[in-house]
Structure 1
Amino acid sequence: MSVEAWTTVLVILSFIVYIYIGWRSRVSDTKGFFVAEQGVPAVANGAATAADWMSAASFISMAGLISFLGYDGSIYLIGWTGGYVLLALLLAPYLRKFGKYTVPDFVGDRYYSNVARSVAVVAAIFVSMTYVAGQMRGVGIVFSRFLQVDVSTGVVIGMVIVAFFAILGGMKGITWTQVAQYCVLIVAYLIPAFAISMLLTGIFVPQLGFTFGDIVEKLNAVQVDLGFAEYSQPFANKSMLDVLFITIALMVGTAGLPHVIVRFYTVPNVRAARYSAGWALLFIAILYTTAPAIASFARYNLIDSLHNKTVAEVQQLDWATKWENTGLLQFEDKNGDGRFQLTPEEASNEIIVDRDIIVLANPEVAQLAPWVVALVAAGGLAAALSTASGLLLVISSSIAHDVYYRMVNPHASEAKRLMVGRVMVGFAIAIAGYFGINPPGFVAQVVAFAFGLAAASFFPVIILGIFDKRTNKEGAIAGMITGLAFTIFYIVGVKFAGMPTWFFNVSAEGIGTVGMILNFVVTLVVSRLTPPPPADIQALVEELRDPTHHVPIALTDIGEEQLD
């Protein structure tokens, strides 16, 4: 069968499994809809967390960016994996012990303020919508190539699938769907990596082939011959300061991502939260240690397959023709010599490769079997859809639980709260689809913006909320607004308004680090200049850090008069 036929079969089969799981896991109450009834086993939650975490940015785009950035692309590996460790060890157990459904719920109750809750809701929606836009673009890219439809149509198909199991099953349906999606995406990522490692290095395990084979030395030599910097040369594409700031933003942004944090509320207790964090880290490491190998293999194969080839030779490459039809791979014989050259200068470069196609095209470039190529497409869809569904639940819960139930209608019935949650998922999918069709950058770039926003808004108030009982509502509100406003201003200005990177040439992807620092400073200063939190809130923070206290802390008895 052809690649397209195999893709159709595997995608349909995987979607049938996802939809079946969503139907079997359908819920009728808000606890099941928002936190999967807090009954997910630690191993399953670890797999679901890994699928939630390893989005289209990890599966589709990360190796592509490493492939083009070389050494400097390690920012994504270090930032994302380091950030998950930070989240798992420093924040997740305390947040689970706090016993709340969402990050805005934690912020609202810890800082005894509906204004703080509202600011956190806005931040959660900003972060989640930015993040989900990248997932929708990933879905569109996969469909555009393997079903030969345009990107817009691909995004719409993905929206329909996500809507089904997100609206019907809520977090319970999403959790068990994500377990299946992790199995699909990790198998799809590893099989071509093993095969290509054997072809290029003679070593079956890609991590060992990348480390002990000579592929990096060959790639360095090829890049220098073409006028590029060596693949392994540090800071060839980004300054040292920008690399540092992007890495920090990705790391602390991870620790503030609401859709990952909420996964620790779906397990029965704090102990299970710790175990599920360990399992998730293991499942994540399998893919993240493979990505650098795939990046180097793909870069070498791509140059070998396309550089200095004649027009006729390129036209004979079926995979190149089909990717060219999507608009994500472009050829232009600028010098009229009948050949296509890959050069570092934009004016003379005749081969334009979208970073987001590297992983998906890699098996085709290496001439692997059609079913392997199709499996990668199914894996890319699994990665994008699993994260998109988790993000949509965050948006839904932020509005339905934190705004509607906690502030607008505290006496709303279970059925009405569930209905509002499902309607909000529908609205969120529509908005996410628009940004998936009109994205502001590559998948991993868009996701990096979301991490920057999370770093600048959530991380300081969560850390201080747990470890500094003196931090009060005035400080938290001022800090979140300052950090979020500055980061949005810089990202929008640089990416859309032509503003220069005026802060020491730090890119839009790294500016979240500066926003985070501003948030910390403003929160601490304002908290010390205003009255301390009430005595019961300070006692609660002390109890939260008490290792002998294992029961989730209930804050529903906080008097409404303390909430502004």
Structure 2
Amino acid sequence: MELGYQIPIVALILIGCMLSFTIVTTFMFRSQKTSADYYLAGRKVNSFINASAISSDYLSAASFLGVAGVAFLYGFDGIIYALGFFTGYIALLLFLASPLRKFGRYTVPDFVSERFHSRKARVLGVIGVLFVSLFYMAPQMLGAGKVMGLLLDLEYGTSIVIIACIITFYVTVGGMKATTVNQLVQFWILFGAMFLLAFIPFMVKGYTYTDVVNFIATFKGPDPQTGKIFDGAAYTSPAYWLTNLKDTISLLLALMFGTSGLPHILVRFYTAPDGKAARKTVIYVLFLIGFFYILSPYVGHVVRYVYLQGQTMGVSPHLMTWLAENGKNLAVPVAGSQFGGQILLGIVVAGAFAAILSTVAGLIITCAGAIGHDLVVNVFNPDMSERSRVKVARVASICVGLLGIPLGFWAENMQIAVLVGLAFAIAASTFFPVLVMGVWWPKMTKGGAIAGLITGIVGSFFMILGKGLLPTFLQFKNPGGFVMILTFIAIYMVSKMEYSSRGEDALPPDTQEVMAILHGPEKA
């Protein structure tokens, strides 16, 4: 254990209370008679509760730990993540929230399959959901390992196993109803923690944003821990993104439109009673996460401010070590310890824990839906009874939940927000173009949908995992925007070619009826 480190008892108590609540809630909602109960909480979640649950689902370890961490690490260059994460919900509100709920299915693959009457599109949709969700789960497990290590001085691997087992248990038993209630509580814990982290330095300590930025901008000297020269002028200037417009535009497009393609976010709109409630939910979400994303970059910059002054600001040696070695992921817990001691550190660690639990739970439910509902039931056994469907959902939840363990090991040395940005890249490349064209362009064909899914999945796979094999001009830090444009082009070109050769026969026979459902008035 590091010198000066104390196990945060307050954090243990708060997390113990949160886990106790989670267990009680899980057993209260352990009975699900239908798959709609398990996956969608019976479609009866009101707008404010749904907005809190969606915000909790969305404000993952990437937002709670990662945005402040990127701001601490890169300065103004890091604010692009907060901007992109927030504006994504505006696109979701404008283009997809209400029409998808009116369509009234369970999952994203449901939409592409039934909109275009294609089993192949459903299978590709399942592959896309798993690709996005597992890529998104990896940084959550990374955050879990870091936070649990901070909390109990545990080894990273041990922390990953414990977290994976806890989340898998409560999702498997409680389904979407328990997950929604738990996400509601978890959101207000993590939001309250971030609010306190900004309120205390700003209102109590008097660290205005102007003072913080001015000090950092004029600082040029050795890093207090590493001795490397720190250039404050470069830190407070968006220099990197302005000189690398290719990467900047691609990243912003990925973050903005990836939100509208995240399966674990989209599925929550199916839990709303109707399209009007879905729209109302998004408006609530915009207010909640907008406020959050104003606070988190400020916290990251304040942590850099106190770090540069080190002993002058009374920062303890072990906190300085945490920042020097892993400030990209631990800036938020350090802020808690620095500005509120064990009590605020406890609240912050509980908030980080809540963010991780909430997001991973949502991802497990989504992947279980893709495997159980879309693949096992709709592709292999459409006549399966509702009781058997719930059993399949639970088995799928266990399998997906335990996958979090190897994913956590894989992500150990990465930066949380950057890794989540790559999950957004896959979502923007794969689902956003297919969904927005499927909802708004009546002349989109089955072949166009399949071409779009293949382009998004294969293109993002190779540009992320095979980046080193590509020529320099095709190497992006985040390829989401570039591949998304290719996907739109593939959908348009294939649909136009099919329509030119076959005319109206190239379109699904019920296109007009579907468009009337998507854009018409709500059914009484």
TM-score exceeds 0.5: yes
Whole-Å Cα distance in 2 between the matches of residues 223 and 156 of structure 1? 43
Residue number in structure 2 paired with 1:7: 11
List per-residue Cα deviations over 1:179-200 (Å, max 9, x = no partner): 0101111111111221122355
Q: Does 231-240 or 383-392 show the bigger shift?
A: 231-240
Note if 1:221 corresponds to 2:218: yes
Q: Show the counterpart of 2:366.
A: 394
1:33-52 alignment to 2 at 5 Å? 33-52=38-57
Residue number among 347, 364, 379 corresponding to 2:351 in the alignment: 379
**Residues 269 and 220 (structure 1 numbering): CA distance in 2 closer, same or farther, change over 3 Å?**
same
CA distance in 2, matches of 1:541, 1:223: 61
Give the direction of change, closer, same or farther, for the CA distance of 1:7–1:546 in structure 2 (3 Å limit). closer
Shift of 1:522: 0.9
How far apart are the structure 1 equivalents of 2:9 and 2:515? 60
Partner residue of 1:232?
236
Q: Specify the SS of the correspondent of 1:536.
A: coil
Pair 1:544-2:517 in alignment: yes
Distance change >3 Å, CA 224–CA 464, structure 1 → 2 = farther
Q: Which amino acid aligns with 2:440?
A: F
Structure 2 CA distance for partners of 1:82 and 1:501, relative to 1, 3 Å: farther
Aligned to 1:176: 181
The answer as to whether partners of 1:47 and 1:280 remain within 8 angstroms in 2 is yes
The residue identity in structure 2 corresponding to 1:248 is L
In the alignment, the residues of structure 1 paired with residue 436 and residue 329 of structure 2 have an alpha-carbon distance, to the nearest angstrom, of 34
Are the counterparts in 2 of residues 298 and 362 from structure 1 also a CA contact under 8 Å? yes
Kept after mapping to 1: 8 A contact 2:50/2:272: yes
- 1:528 maps to a residue whose letter is K
Residues 71-80 or 498-507, more deviating? 498-507
How many correspondences in the alignment? 505
Indicate the residue corresponding to 2:252 in structure 1.
247
CA distance in 2, matches of 1:370, 1:141: 17
Q: Which residue of 2 aligns with 1:410?
A: 382
Q: For the residues of structure 2 that align with 1:24 and 1:223, how far apart are their CA atoms?
A: 57
Per the alignment, residue 345 of structure 1 pairs with none
Q: 1:109 Cα shift?
A: 0.5
CA contact (8 A) 1:465 1:541 kept: no
- For residues 209-252 of structure 1, what are the alpha-carbon distances to aligned partners after superposition, in whole Å with 9 as ceiling and x for unaligned? 32xx3211111112578442433212236612211210111111
- 5+ long unaligned stretches in structure 1: 203-208, 324-328, 330-350, 553-564
Q: Is the 8 A contact 1:466 1:544 kept in 2?
A: no
What amino acid sits opposite 1:524 in the alignment? Y
How far, CA to CA, are the matches of 1:21 and 1:223 in structure 2?
52
> Whole-Å Cα distance in 2 between the matches of residues 72 and 271 of structure 1?
37
Report the counterpart of residue 445 of structure 1 in structure 2.
418
SS at match of 1:469: coil
Please give the TM-score of this superposition, normalised by the length of structure 1.
0.85
Percent identity over the alignment?
32
Q: Write the distance in 2 (CA, Å) between the matches of 1:373 and 1:535.
A: 56
What displacement does 1:106 show?
0.2
Give the counterpart of 2:488 among 517, 520, 543: 520
1:415-564 correspondence to structure 2 within 5 Å: 415-439=387-411, 441-494=414-467, 498-499=468-469, 502-503=472-473, 506-507=476-477, 509=478, 511-530=479-498, 531=502, 532=504, 533-534=506-507, 536-547=509-520, 549-551=521-523
8 A contact 1:64–1:356 mirrored in 2: yes
Which residue, out of 46, 65, 70, partners 2:70? 65
Q: Aligned partner of 1:296: which letter?
A: H
Query: CA offsets, 1:429-480, max 9 Å, x none?
Result: 1112211122172111221111000111101110110111111111111121
What is residue 56 of structure 1 aligned with on the other side? Answer: 61
Where do residues 269-348 of structure 1 align in structure 2 (5 Å cutoff)? 269-305=274-310, 317-320=317-320, 323=322
Deviation at 1:2, TM superposition (A): 5.3
Q: What is the match of residue 357 of structure 1?
A: 330
What residue number does 1:131 align with? 136
Q: Which amino acid aligns with 2:381?
A: N
Q: Tell me the distance in 2 between the aligned counterparts of 1:5 and 1:380.
A: 16
TM-score norm. by structure 2 comes to 0.92
Higher percent of residues as helix:
2
Structure 2 gaps of 5+ residues are 223-228
Q: Cα RMSD between the aligned structures?
A: 2.2
Name the SS of the counterpart of 1:26 in structure 2.
Answer: coil
**Equivalent residue, structure 2, for 1:343:** none
| CA shift in 2, pair 1:480/1:267, >3 Å | same
Q: Which amino acid aligns with 1:215?
A: V
